[in-house]
Amino acid sequence: MKYILTTLIAAAVLISCANEATKSLDEVINSGDLEALRTKKEEVLVSYDSIANILGQLDVAISIKDTLKRLPLVTTYTVKDTLFEHFIDIQGNVDTDQNILIYPEYQGTLLRLYVKEGQRVSKGQVLAKIDDGGLSSQVAQIETQYQLAKTTYERQQRLWEQKIGSEIQYLQAKSNMEGLKSSVAQINSQLARTTVRAPFSGEIDQIVTEQGQVVSPGGMAIMRIVNLSDMYVKASVPENYITSITVGSTVKVTLPALNMQVNGKVKTVGNYINPNNRTFEIEIDLPNQDNAIKPNLVAKLEINNYSNVAAQLIPTNVIQENSRGEKYVFVVSDITGDEATVTRTQIETGLKFKGQVEVLKGLKDGDVIVKAGALTLKDGYKIKIKSTK
Q: Report the distance separating Cα 16 and Cα 26, nearest Å.
A: 16
Asked whether residue 52 carries a pLDDT value surpassing 80, the answer given is no
Asked whether residue 17 carries a pLDDT value surpassing 70, the answer given is no
Asked whether residue 54 carries a pLDDT value surpassing 80, the answer given is no
Q: Report the distance separating Cα 2 and Cα 79, nearest Å.
A: 44
Contact of 223 with 206, CB cutoff 8 Å = yes
What average pLDDT does range 118-130 have in this prediction?
94
Look at residue 56 in the predicted model and tell me its pLDDT. Answer: 66
Contact of 140 with 209, CB cutoff 8 Å = no
Cβ-proximal residues to 81 (8 Å cutoff; 6+ apart), any chain? 310, 311, 312, 365
DSSP letter string, 270-333: -S--BTTTTEEEEEEEE--TTS---TT-EEEEEEEEEEEEEEEEEEGGG-EE-TT--EEEEEEE
Asked whether residue 27 carries a pLDDT value surpassing 70, the answer given is yes
Of residues 96 and 33, more confidence is placed in 96
Look at residue 60 in the predicted model and tell me its pLDDT. Answer: 65
Asked whether residue 241 carries a pLDDT value surpassing 70, the answer given is yes
With bands split at pLDDT 50, 70 and 90, how would you rate the model's confidence at 389? very low
Asked whether residue 187 carries a pLDDT value surpassing 50, the answer given is yes
Q: Report the distance separating Cα 300 and Cα 284, nearest Å.
A: 12
With bands split at pLDDT 50, 70 and 90, how would you rate the model's confidence at 3? very low
Contact of 377 with 370, CB cutoff 8 Å = yes
Q: Report the distance separating Cα 121 and Cα 198, nearest Å.
A: 7
Nearest to 92 by CA among 302, 299, 303, 278: 299
b or e along 214-225 (b: 16 or more beta carbons within 10 Å of the residue's beta carbon)? ebeeeeeebbbb
The helix or strand, by DSSP H or E, that contains position 53, with its residue range, turns out to be helix 34-65
Q: Report the distance separating Cα 371 and Cα 74, nearest Å.
A: 7
Nearest to 193 by CA among 130, 285, 151, 137: 130
Model confidence pLDDT, tens digit, residues 194-222: 999 999 999 999 999 999 999 999 899 99
The helix or strand, by DSSP H or E, that contains position 87, with its residue range, turns out to be strand 81-96
Arithmetic mean of pLDDT over the chain: 85
Percent of the chain with pLDDT over 90: 50
What average pLDDT does range 124-130 have in this prediction?
95
Look at residue 50 in the predicted model and tell me its pLDDT. Answer: 65
Model confidence pLDDT, tens digit, residues 274-331: 999 999 999 999 988 888 899 999 999 999 999 999 999 999 999 998 888 889 999 9
3-state SS class at 99 = strand
Q: Report the distance separating Cα 137 and Cα 134, nearest Å.
A: 6
Asked whether residue 24 carries a pLDDT value surpassing 80, the answer given is no
Q: Averaging pLDDT over each range in 12-16, 241-245, 337-341, which range is the top one? A: 241-245
With bands split at pLDDT 50, 70 and 90, how would you rate the model's confidence at 21? low
With bands split at pLDDT 50, 70 and 90, how would you rate the model's confidence at 20? low
3-state SS, 187-243, equals: HHHHHHCCEEECCCCEEEEEECCCCCCEECCCCCCCEEEECCCCEEEEEEEEHHHCC
Of 4-13, 65-74, 237-246, which gets the smallest average pLDDT? 4-13
Determine the distance from the C-alpha atom of residue 365 to the mean position of all C-alpha atoms in its chain, rounded to a whole number: 33
Contact of 370 with 384, CB cutoff 8 Å = no
Of residues 61 and 102, more confidence is placed in 102
pTM passes above 0.85: no
Q: Report the distance separating Cα 256 and Cα 298, nearest Å.
A: 7
Asked whether residue 2 carries a pLDDT value surpassing 50, the answer given is no
- Which residues face 327 on adjacent strands? 321, 347
Nearest to 184 by CA among 230, 219, 233, 150: 150
Q: Averaging pLDDT over each range in 7-16, 65-74, 335-344, which range is the top one? A: 335-344
Look at residue 338 in the predicted model and tell me its pLDDT. Answer: 85
**Main-chain phi, psi angles of 65, to 5 degrees:** -85, -20
